[in-house]
Structure 1
């Protein structure tokens, strides 16, 4: 009997000790405060895991249409260089990739046809000047009824014929960057200088020294980097959302962090039957030295803009149902920080901010260290 009595009291003491141990454990976890629905972390944990609080920020959000395209040079910013007269290339003074100003010499051509053209002009010039003097003299005499009508008409016909030849060859020489007045004096140009028609970079060299070339032969191509614009391919389903004047952000897929701005200037009126896209164009607001002709880009056309509240993307924890969870600062008590989890609906993204469509109380949000928190239901 005494044995059972001592055994009974031993069981009671053990139960009491276990009860005390459970209370202590619950106090350390924060349960004794009545906050079992909150996530509790210590100040030491908060600092060790480099967590941060922040607030909802107002930002400009853009509803956009994603498109692909290319950086293209305007037709006014591209040029093919040829020799207007057949001949042999003697000097190539520029290299691939060089920048040249309009009027700069790109290469020189030695040509017998060029010499003959100057000779013809000098001959026609002399004959024209003589015919002009004769015509003016007979015009005066005919006006005074001294010269015969047939002589005046013959002189006028010769003068007009030589005038046409003179002006024609003079114009051809001017196109060759030759001073006709110098040729008229007998001072001929020995070689033809082929000059750049525009400011730009040499993108192709298709000739070599000693090569015989004709006017049909393309010698070089040039592109003016200041004449670049965007050529975008927009799917038929998206074209109705686009309008002239909309803002565009675009980037090279190889460097997506560096984005550039443009403005939509034209929307196409014809669908490519194979690609099912419509070509639209946009004016680039600031030309970058890294742009090259036909460079592939990805772009976002802003079709709707509005201001709303958002938080950094790192503050959101994705849930299985497509919504997100954030953690609000509920209170600080002693050595602990108490967080309340709230499900929210996210909207558009603007840079690093994500739009929050769910109304929230004016409390601080955990914006850094969310994924270091213990798992919650």
Structure 2
């Protein structure tokens, strides 16, 4: 037993004598969201600081879609009476102006129609004279009422027939007022109803076209429609009458002004709804072209910072707040809408009475990241 106590005492003596006399210096703790600059860095960094500012920030809704033709801007050209194509120089894509001759048509029935019109016109003069003669005789009781009524009926029938033939002539672009026996023609001209370009040509020279056949399809590129997609979160912000600015990827500097006419009421598979807008001037825009569009809306006045003051770190938004002359703290920020290079700050109370870094925030973020890597 005595030996055991002796051994324990020796063990304790050895343990006490082995304790190190030098103490290690613990590292100085630094906050992970705080960056401190040296005098040299302060001199080289371009930093500006201000409190949050009150701003009215326009909210811009960005959409995409296509420029589409309204139904009335795609015109199918037919010949009301049919006929043979005598001449045409149209090819798909060719532009034309209003009044240009699209094709010459030829048919025997054009001659017959003009003949019938002129014959009926001559008969009308004769029946009119007979009607006036019978009227005068009937007033003096020199002729029966039946003869007068018959003359009146023939005059009225010829008058109706002439008017009907006149309208038929107008269908094939023949002016009945200038038609005479010396001006009868076997060909007619099909004229362009507006400025545009040819989409399709369905005939060739010598082909017979019936009245139901479509000879050409013409496109009027004026006043195209925008067919845009808006997603669910922005649907409530849109209404008819709002202004739209559209542009293409190939020429983003060229802007096309428009106005919303209506929004759809059904969702697509991607939870988007169609928005349709009229374009005030679509000259130069090709139907079917892919377009981008922006709809700008004013919001109420709110606390904001310049867009460059907001930095993103690990998927979140932050602002740098001055903690002294050389220290800056990274503080979480709840951002709202962005417009005119300003961003809304929803948690403005967290920055009340503090100076926020407006210019140089990204430089501070890089310095903070570098200091974290060195540790």
TM exceeds 0.5? yes
Partner of 1:123: 119
Distance 1:274 1:255, change over 3 A: same
* Contact in 1 for aligned 2:124/2:155 (Cα 8 Å): yes
- Gaps in structure 2 of 5+ consecutive residues: 1-29
Match status 1:348 vs 2:344: no
Query: C-alpha separation between the residues in 2 aligned to 1:225 and 1:41?
Result: 65
CA distance in 1, matches of 2:237, 2:154: 68
Deviation at residue 304 of structure 1 after TM alignment: 6.2
Which residue number in structure 1 is paired with residue 174 of structure 2?
Answer: 178
Q: 2:359: which partner in 1?
A: 366
Q: 1:365 to 1:302 in 2, by over 3 A?
A: closer
Q: Which of residues 143, 154, 158 is equivalent to 2:154?
A: 158
When residues 356 and 279 of structure 1 are mapped into structure 2, their CA distance, relative to the original with a 3 A threshold, is closer
Alignment map for 1:202-281 (pairs within 5 Å): 202-232=198-228, 239-252=235-248, 260-268=256-264, 271=266, 279-281=274-276
Partner of 1:318: 312
Partner SS for 1:263: strand
1:195 maps to which of 180, 185, 191: 191
Whether the 8 Å contact between 2:85 and 2:206 is mirrored in structure 1 is yes
CA distance in 2, matches of 1:368, 1:109: 75
Describe the shift of the 1:225–1:330 C-alpha distance in structure 2 as closer, same or farther (beyond 3 A). farther
Task: Note if contact 1:203-1:221 (Cα within 8 Å) is conserved in structure 2.
Answer: yes
TM-score, normalising length: structure 2: 0.71
Structure 1 residue 81 corresponds to structure 2 residue 74:
no
User: For 2:59, which of 59, 62, 68 is the aligned residue?
Assistant: 62
Decide which of 71, 81, 90 is 2:86's aligned counterpart.
Answer: 90
1:22-48 CA-partner distances (Å, limit 9, x unpaired):
xxxxxxxxx9xxxx842347469948x
- CA drift of 1:118 comes to 1.2
Change (3 A) 1:63 1:292: closer
Number of matched pairs:
331
Q: Deviations over 1:256-302 (max 9, x none)?
A: 6766543322344x537988765543233x42434222334454555
Please give the secondary structure, in 2, of the residue aligned with 1:225: coil
| Match in the other structure for 2:103 | 107
The worse-fitting range, judged by mean Cα deviation, of 196-205 and 164-173 is 196-205
Q: Please, which runs of 5 or more residues in structure 1 have no aligned partner?
A: 1-30, 332-337
